[in-house]
Amino acid sequence: MAEWTDVCALDDIEEEDVVRFDHGERTFAVYRSPDGEVFATDGLCTHEQVHLADGLVLDDTIECPMHNGRFNYKTGAALRTPACVALGTYPARIVGGRVQIEL
Ligand code: FES
């Protein structure tokens, strides 16, 4: 059975932006797309373990703040070197104005 974890209020994430979410020993990046949907990926870049929430969201991509590697945050796919290993992705949803992710 799915276990949903509360992240924050939807209003805490601007459209086309990302926030960091730490849970237990793990860290995630939670995105709000330009059309208002929410998504979640691993929080650290697969290149050198930098927090992606410090990066830049452009449409459906996240650009790493360290070396400008890019990922599609909807699929996790690595799009631009030096990032070449995909991110893990997690289901995300909006319930009653709150953002939740399934871990
Ligand atoms: S740490 Fe993200 S591209 Fe290098």
Ligand 1 nearest atom to the CA of residue 82, by list position: 3
> CA 103, 95, 45: angle at the middle one, nearest 5?
40
Per-residue CA distances from 96 to 9, 100, 101 (Å) = 9, 10, 14
Residue 19 inside a domain? The answer is yes
pLDDT digits (tens, 9 = 90+) for 42-76: 999 999 999 999 999 999 999 999 999 999 999 99
Q: pLDDT at position 34, please?
A: 96
Given a cut of 80, whether residue 1 has pLDDT beyond it is no
Q: What is the domain count for the chain?
A: 1
Q: Which of 42, 46, 47 has most ligand 1 atoms within 8 Å of CB, for mutation?
A: 47
Single pTM value for the model: 0.96
Domain that holds residue 39: 4-94
Residue 45, token pair as written in the block: 């870049």
Q: pLDDT at position 18, please?
A: 98
Residues with CB under 6 A from ligand 1: 45, 47-48, 50, 64, 66-67, 69, 82-83
Domain containing 23 — which CATH number?
2.102.10.10
Given a cut of 90, whether residue 2 has pLDDT beyond it is no
